[in-house]
């Protein structure tokens, strides 16, 4: 019988673990030690006293006390309110299992000391509590926000969570007491929120306050689930919870949120609408009713079965809907095909081109593995620049010829087209009825978005440099293939969740492609098909309402 051996393994922070080796060490010495080293690495040692007193935990204690003092100066944690929690960053421990440090509740945040923090396991059990303070300090207690913080850790894999009582986050929920969301667009600081750009609409869910903080846990969890892209939840008449991948990310976003809330409050005081692209005058309910009953809309109430005129949001396709298909196939694609080599040569060392090349490498590798026609290997980074560019050009030309709807190609094309628009070599084309319709929808309070297989940059360029001027002021956001393939139902589910509508049917999707219309309908959106010159024929008895110009909507 094999003899039982013992392996003494030094893990870290001076911690030694003895693990039995029920394997004959003379027969499998290397295997047994390697196997049990791997086993030992999985042992949860974060609760050990040595680890709790280690450098990583100490540094996080100091960081939280410094941030509490800073947040106090900002007015986020005055009157002992508010809190912050951070996971102890340690590369040797998987993020979901890292320790959690949390500032105590009901104590003066500006007087926090490193030893005042609670230390919790990844599951939320207290591993270390601060000692009681002498009079007149209140004895520290674990944050009342604890259950809510844990939801952000569990549901978003957060690295840090901040709870602020900043007055901006409180007042902005009072501007419309019935609103379930805060919405804002076309503000520079939106770029500081994960997954958002200047032209996007930022949507933050609002939940109702309760007498006790822990009672908010369920409603906060529901909001996190209902808004998969949000990084914050507002609590009416109370404050905000913000989370991020790290404390830096959480702090940056919290600052941006407070800035945007403050901007919305000041715009409201000026009688301006922060939720529209041009931030024009706030329209009263009466004005909205009059606009919606104008002759541009009342034709849709005819008895011929036209669509409901009052969607909350309209999502528009580009090719064959706002723009002739010929513009894409006869202008944009040829320009990209003819200029790809020149573009790569002139911009090769720029960060955005290097990012494009990285995406193309990944796509081409996948194409080669799946035997996609036209794919050729791209030389390694240490090969000559000309050799790499030649291979890239070959692959890109094949992708364009195949009209492939892939992110790697769309990103590169967007950057090439940007140069063309800026140099007046390109001009975006939209149908003549589009600008007037966009303006009327905008003035009626209807949010308009674009969803196209072209990159968001390419979309903004078409409308920003159009034959009718800059139309972006009428658009609230852009979606591309990053959200998903246009012929997949899940993509439209993602869009409806991003827009935060009460129900998918609050969104009207306009497209010229039957398969896209079918996918959007399956997601619950209202759909109408655009019939424009040059569009592909539709199947017989397709069952969708059709329009030939936007005034018919």
| 238 known ligand binder | yes
- CB contact at 8 A, 74 and 166: yes
SS3 state at 103: coil
In terms of DSSP H, where are the helices of 115-173? 146-156, 167-171
| 142 known ligand binder | no
Centre a 10 Å sphere on the Cβ of residue 358 and count the other Cβ atoms it contains. 12
Q: Which of 226, 67, 96, 76 is nearest to 159 (CA)?
A: 96
Cα–Cα distances in angstroms (integers) from residue 541 to residues 253, 304, 472, 517, 531, in the given order: 50, 17, 36, 14, 15
Q: Which of 464, 473, 516 is nearest to 316 (CA)?
A: 516
Dmax over CA atoms of the chain, in Å, equals 93
| 121 known ligand binder | no
- CB contact at 8 A, 209 and 216: yes
Cα–Cα distances in angstroms (integers) from residue 5 to residues 2, 42, 419, in the given order: 9, 20, 69
Dihedral angle computed from the Cα positions of residues 241, 247, 248 and 253, in that order, rounded to the nearest 10 degrees: -10
Tokens of 367: 């194409």
| 165 known ligand binder | yes
- CB contact at 8 A, 330 and 387: no
Centre a 10 Å sphere on the Cβ of residue 411 and count the other Cβ atoms it contains. 22
| 452 known ligand binder | yes
Which is the catalytic residue, given 113, 188, 208, 422?
188
User: E strand or H helix at 8, and its extent?
Assistant: strand 5-10
Using the 8-state DSSP alphabet, how is residue 535 labeled?
P
| 275 known ligand binder | no
| 512 known ligand binder | yes
Q: Is 188 a catalytic residue?
A: yes
| 131 known ligand binder | no
In terms of DSSP H, where are the helices of 236-328? 247-269, 285-292, 325-327
| 256 known ligand binder | no
What are the residues whose beta carbons fall under 8 Å from the beta carbon of 172, sequence distance 6 or more? 182, 234, 261, 264, 265
Determine the Cα–Cα distance for residues 160 and 231; give it in Å rounded to an integer. Answer: 11
Burial class (CB in 10 A: 0-12, 13-18, 19+), 540: exposed
Determine the Cα–Cα distance for residues 50 and 43; give it in Å rounded to an integer. Answer: 15
Determine the Cα–Cα distance for residues 420 and 332; give it in Å rounded to an integer. Answer: 9
Q: Which of 21, 23, 17, 5 is nearest to 41 (CA)?
A: 17
**Active centre residues (catalytic):** 188
Binding site, annotated residues for Zn(2+):
163, 165, 238
Q: Which residues are annotated as a binding site?
A: 145, 163, 165, 238, 317, 319, 452-453, 486, 512
Which residues fall in the annotated binding site for substrate?
A: 145, 452-453, 486
- Extract the annotated binding site for Mg(2+): 317, 319, 512
């Amino acid at each position: 019988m094999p003899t039982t051996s013992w392996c003494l393994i030094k893990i870290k922070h001076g911690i030694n673990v003895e693990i039995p080796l029920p394997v004959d060490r003379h027969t499998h010495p290397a295997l047994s030690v390697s196997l049990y080293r791997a086993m030992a690495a999985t042992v949860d040692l974060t609760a050990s006293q040595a680890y709790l007193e280690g450098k990583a935990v100490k540094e996080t204690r100091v960081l939280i006390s410094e941030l509490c003092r800073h947040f106090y100066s900002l007015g986020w944690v005055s009157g002992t309110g508010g809190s912050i929690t951070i996971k102890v960053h340690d590369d040797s421990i998987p993020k979901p299992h890292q320790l959690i440090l949390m500032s105590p509740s009901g104590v003066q945040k500006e007087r926090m000391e490193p030893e005042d923090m609670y230390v919790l396991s990844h599951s939320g059990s207290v591993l270390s509590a601060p000692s009681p303070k002498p009079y007149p300090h209140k004895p520290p207690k674990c944050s009342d926000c604890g259950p809510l913080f844990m939801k952000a850790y569990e549901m978003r894999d957060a690295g840090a969570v901040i709870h602020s009582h900043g007055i901006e986050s409180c007042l902005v929920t009072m501007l419309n007491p019935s609103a379930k969301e805060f919405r804002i667009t076309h503000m520079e600081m939106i770029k500081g929120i994960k997954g958002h750009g200047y032209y996007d609409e930022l949507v933050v869910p609002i939940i109702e306050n309760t007498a006790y903080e822990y009672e908010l846990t369920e409603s906060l969890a529901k909001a996190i689930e209902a808004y998969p892209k949000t990084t914050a939840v507002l609590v009416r008449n109370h404050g905000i919870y913000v989370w991020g991948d790290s404390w830096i990310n959480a702090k940056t976003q919290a600052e941006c949120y407070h800035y945007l809330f403050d901007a919305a409050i000041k715009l409201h005081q000026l009688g301006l609408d922060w939720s529209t692209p041009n931030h024009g005058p706030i329209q009263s309910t009466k004005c909205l009713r009059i606009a919606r009953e104008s002759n541009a809309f009342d034709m849709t109430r005819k008895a011929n079965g036209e669509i409901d005129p009052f969607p909350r949001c309209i999502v528009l396709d580009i090719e064959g809907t706002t723009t002739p298909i010929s513009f894409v196939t006869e202008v944009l694609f040829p320009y990209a095909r003819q200029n790809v080599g020149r573009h790569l040569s002139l911009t090769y060392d720029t960060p955005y081109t290097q990012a494009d090349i990285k995406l193309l490498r990944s796509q081409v590798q996948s194409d080669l593995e799946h035997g996609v026609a036209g794919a050729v290997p791209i030389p390694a980074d240490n090969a000559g620049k000309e050799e790499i560019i030649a291979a890239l050009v070959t692959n890109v030309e094949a992708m364009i010829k195949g009209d492939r709807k892939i992110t790697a190609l769309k990103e590169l094309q967007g950057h090439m087209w940007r140069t063309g628009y800026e140099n007046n070599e390109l001009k975006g084309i939209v149908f003549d009825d589009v600008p007037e319709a966009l303006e009327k929808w905008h003035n009626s309070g209807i949010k308009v978005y674009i969803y196209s297989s072209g990159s968001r940059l390419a979309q903004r360029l078409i409308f920003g440099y159009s034959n009718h001027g800059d139309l972006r002021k009428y658009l609230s956001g852009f979606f591309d293939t990053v959200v998903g393939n246009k012929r997949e139902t899940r993509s439209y589910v993602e869009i409806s969740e991003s827009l935060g509508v009460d129900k998918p049917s609050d969104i009207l999707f306009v497209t010229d492609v039957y398969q896209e219309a079918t996918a959007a309908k399956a997601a619950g959106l209202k759909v109408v098909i655009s019939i424009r010159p040059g569009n592909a024929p539709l199947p017989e008895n397709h069952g969708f309402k059709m329009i030939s110009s936007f005034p018919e909507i």
